[in-house]
Copies of this chain bind each other. A is one copy, B any other.
Amino acid sequence: LTSALSPDLIIFAERLADAARGAIRPYFRQSFAVETKPNRTPVTIADRAAEEAMRRLITETFPAHGIVGEELGAEREDAEFVWILDPIDGTKSFATGLPIFGTLIALVHDGRPVIGIIDQPILTERWLGVRGRPSLFNGKPAKTRPCSDLANAALFATTFDRFNRSEMARFQKLVEMTSINRLSGDCYAYGLLALGLADVVVDAEMKPHDFAALVPVIEGAGGAIGDWEERPLPMRRPSRVAAVGDPKLFGAVCAVLSGKKI
């Protein structure tokens, strides 16, 4: 891996995040009367502009690399290196002016995510994860906190409205077992977990562009992330997601989520 993952790729991943920032920032809080146009429009424009900017850079610099983007589809998906892009994760936050959405950038090598970036373009906050290295938050080490008891845990769900009835019941069980909970947060919640400010983040079924970038960030900060059955997240199909700051909690969280403890 070390030979395959040249430092150039890490620098390049940050260039992609910079490009997305430049594309997104002009559209933030550009509201207009909801009468004239649907209020999703600035999101759509910013979303596409950011993905186009990133795709252009990848195609120019690494024409052999694959690209899977939330907005504009997949190309060369079987390449050795594949970039998985979500220009705006948290479109409702973007649309309502909440600066807690994020740009997600992952580099997948032979099916495993080796670089992950969570970037908040408005607050200029960036989490960088590289497989096998400590994660960084704006250049400084990001570390999860110890929390070996669910009763002390701060729990986030970023999209609990997508839970089906049975998932909701199991999640509700987790709410009852934890200390505080927040039922929103988008990808920013995973960033807070990587900073040792939250202990558990749970998501219903998401696509790889929603979670690929999170893996190196969470793991490099000392946490654990996987599906609800404690397995590594798949990079080519949807999955439900659970992340913990303290890996000791992972089994207990997944036991509740997978229904073993209800």
Give me the interface of A with B, judged by CB distance under 8 Å: 29, 31-35, 38-40, 92-93, 95-100, 123, 145-149, 152-154, 156, 161, 179-185, 188, 192, 195-199
B182 & A182 in contact (Cβ 8 Å cutoff): no
- Note all chain B residues with C-beta closer than 8 A to A96: 154, 156, 180, 182, 192, 197-198
Query: Given A39-B152, A123-B123, are A98 and B182 neighbors across the interface (CB < 8 Å)?
Result: yes
A sample of 6 more A-B contacts (CB under 8 A), given A34-B152, A35-B152, is A32-B145, A34-B146, A39-B152, A39-B180, A92-B182, A99-B123
Question: What's the nearest-Cβ distance from chain B to residue A187, in Å?
Answer: 13
Question: What's the nearest-Cβ distance from chain B to residue A151, in Å?
Answer: 10
Pick from B95, B98, B123, B153: contact of A185, CB below 8 A. B98
Please classify the interface of chain A as helix (H, G, I), strand (E, B), loop, or mixed, using the class held by over half of its residues. loop
Query: Given A96-B156, A156-B96, A197-B96, are A34 and B182 neighbors across the interface (CB < 8 Å)?
Result: no
Distance between Cα atoms of A161 and B147 in the complex (Å): 25
- Note all chain B residues with C-beta closer than 8 A to A183: 161, 183-184
A-B contact pairs, 12 of them (CB 8 A): A31-B195, A34-B153, A35-B146, A35-B152, A39-B152, A95-B154, A95-B197, A96-B182, A96-B192, A97-B195, A99-B123, A161-B183
Closest chain B residue to A37, Cβ basis: B152
Pick from B38, B39, B154: contact of A39, CB below 8 A. B154
- Note all chain B residues with C-beta closer than 8 A to A188: 98
